[in-house]
Amino acid sequence: MAEVMNLLEVEPASSHAPGPDIPALCEQLAILVSTGKCKEAIGVNLTQDQVKGLENKDVMSYYKRYETFVGAKTTKTLIENFLWVFTKALGIVVPLKNVEDIHKELKIDYIITKELSGGLALRCGRVLAVANAFFITAKHAAFSGNEEPPHPSRDAVGYPLAGYDEVPTAKQSPVTAE
């Protein structure tokens, strides 16, 4: 038993989780510096040479600031797009006076933005990219199904079709003969 105890004391435990990949984090910071957004993202204007010379604790500190910045931007964009889709979809079910006004009011509401932001970007960042792509696409979709079909001389967008000379006219009410 004493031999086992000696082995445990001499050999380090192999169950330690690997630490952060400092060279990869430095590379991310170097990319940030090359974009010119360093001051905006982490609050410090660094050069490529300064990034190369950073100590590990400074790399971790700056990278955490960068993650926070990216998370905030991602969350803001996601909330913006979600609210656009929500207001457009709501407009299908409930007649709304002005969708843009409702969207603006929802966007500035503290409770809504606080609940929707709740650290989503930090917990499920990659899933948010897919969700945001969906919301951006849906934001540009025409949800209303009550649009009139285009005139037979026009395509779906409203441009004249080849072979038609006439211009569609507005609907005319039937005139009674005297």
Gyration radius (Cα) of the chain, Å: 29
Three-class SS state of 154: strand
Element (H, E) at 125: helix 125-139
Residue 30, domain member (yes or no)? yes
pLDDT at 55: 92
Mark 54-68 as b/e (b = at least 16 C-beta within 10 Å).
beeeebeebbeebbe
Mean pLDDT of 35-62: 92
- Residue 134 is assigned to a structural domain of this protein: yes
Q: Is residue 47 part of a domain?
A: yes
Domains identified in the chain, total number:
1
pLDDT of 117: 72
Q: Could you tell me the pTM of the whole model?
A: 0.55
Residue-number span of the structural domain to which 100 is assigned: 20-139
Residues 6+ away with beta carbon under 8 Å from 77: 132
